[in-house]
Structure 1
Amino acid sequence: MPAVTLTPAGPFSLASGIRFLEGFGPASYDHAADGILRLAFPADDGASVVAAAVRQEVRADGGTGTVRAEFTVHPGTPHPATAVTAEAAANQAVRAQLARILSLDVDATGFPGLAADPVVAGLTADHPGLRPVCFHSPYEAATWAIIGNRIRMTQAAAIKARIAHQHGHRVHIAGQTLHAFPTPAALRTITHVPGLTGIKIQRLHALAEAALDGKLDAPHLRALPADHALAELRTLPGIGPFSAELILIRGAGHPDVFPRHEPRVHKAVATAYGLGAPTTDDDVTQLAKIADRWKPYRSWVAFLLRVRAHDTSLPGPVRHGSPPSS
């Protein structure tokens, strides 16, 4: 089985990421407690499916260990290049996608320096090494935004899981069977999903077409100024300001965007900094100015604030995870 190695630049804990996924509704993550992160997802090429088992080295000195992922690529269409070239290209593509999913494509050596802010210091102490665990792709983030619009989180998660089981590729990885969400080509053939309206099905088809046309390409979205990327995303059917931010931040993995349309983040920021509840656009602008202290990791600190807010809202033992709104 092929494998790739990722060397974190700055703090990173795979165990913290797994704990987060256990409470993250869209992931429906409930795997063996053996320190292995098992993933199955449509590849960025829009046709293949990847199954991966991710592990992190445990270092005796307590330092940040290397991350190793063993994986299998299930191709959707024949690759025109030679077998050797195709395998090398696939390995590199999987490595890049896994790095983005785990936020390991970002140099975080400067992140500990944000601890000069007492709020950030408390967040990193409570969640050591936790980086945002992203959707597998902007495509999956966008489909989640459509599925989850105006329905309960638990209902949306169940629908997404059912779509994966009924229409996605089944894979075996590290002793377990997983179902990947359908590739864009497969999604556009689905005509009925219990719990989804006809307009949602139409919008999912449109997003599948957009993904196949390259309009949900993560490197492209990350390369644009954030405002331009968000404007592009809002041209897609069913994607409003909140969903566009979700796709850019949690789908494309942009590390430095303050979400201006996510009230739960705004409330979490105001609470952390001892401010009144934000109710106006001017209040949000003030919060965005506070977030400027977190550059170039504004998305990351907002993520940690949401994790904290979610943890403190749960009864009983603290759980890790912060499902996004739809």
Structure 2
Amino acid sequence: MKIDTKSDYIVMEDGARIALHTWIPQNADIKYVVAISHGMAEYALRYERFARFLCKNGIAVYAHDHRGHGQSAASEEDLGFLAEKDGFQRVVLDLRRIIQKCRGDFPEAKIILFGHSFGSFVAQSYMEQFSAEIAGCILSGTAGPRLPLSIIGNRVAALVKTFKGARYRSKFLDKLSFSSYLDRIPEKDSPFAWLSRDKDAVKKYEADPLCGFLCTAGFFYDLTDGLSRTHRAKNIRKIKNDLPVLLFAGTADPVGSYTKTIRALAAVYRKNGMSDITETYYEGGRHEMLNEVNYAEVQADILKWISAR
């Protein structure tokens, strides 16, 4: 199957230029569009293998570079900086604009939101605000409620931001966030070994200047601010009860506390009346299951979940 690929920019309400990448299967009756919300310190084109897999199965894919990431960052100085104000919510609204474009381009198709890691936190907030606008949500390498930790992290990030500036790149905040992620990794030959058991995938990430960069104090403030507002009972109750949600992760992924907080999140969703919650955990898998040694199995499971709905 031939695939039309395109990269362009969309200007958001605050003037930010957001890079959008699309993969559209030619001559296909497109019933689904997957909108990808990528993770922290990476970018949308890293999902090309996954996008092409979906396209070969008749599914169109839209993936944008979050502000401060990939081609949306106007310069190296902008990497890891979201916005001067309300950065997390701005990223949520950027995602909404992309999904509105998906609907405009394919008005008859069902739109599935796919969020990974930081992008999954954005997706969780999106569900709490705009769940009526999507037909399903997939959360990859995500985490569940950790409100006290988020609030404490936000206060620490606020202090660094106040005294050093929003664009200051804080090794302290980075270490605070990620220093424990190698604790259960037997081989520590890379600071990013927690991402995948595939050593080549880790090396590729490590060598990519658009991956693994040190984010700004403003980013950490925005992230923890967003997390401190997500998962609140009044917000989760706003999610439509019939929204299908797939949560998947590796059992060796530290982001979701080795599935602990992910399972807690799924339980919260069910407790609030959501009737179609699926959990899939891959034994020994690390954070980036789409770049793991068993990525083909993961892709097939995602396709099966989408097709069943």
Q: Going by fraction, where is strand more abundant, 1 or 2?
A: 2
TM above 0.5:
no
When the two structures are superposed, what TM-score results if normalisation uses the length of structure 1?
0.28
Larger radius of gyration: 1
- Higher RCO (CA < 8 A, seq sep 6+): 1
When the two structures are superposed, what TM-score results if normalisation uses the length of structure 2?
0.29
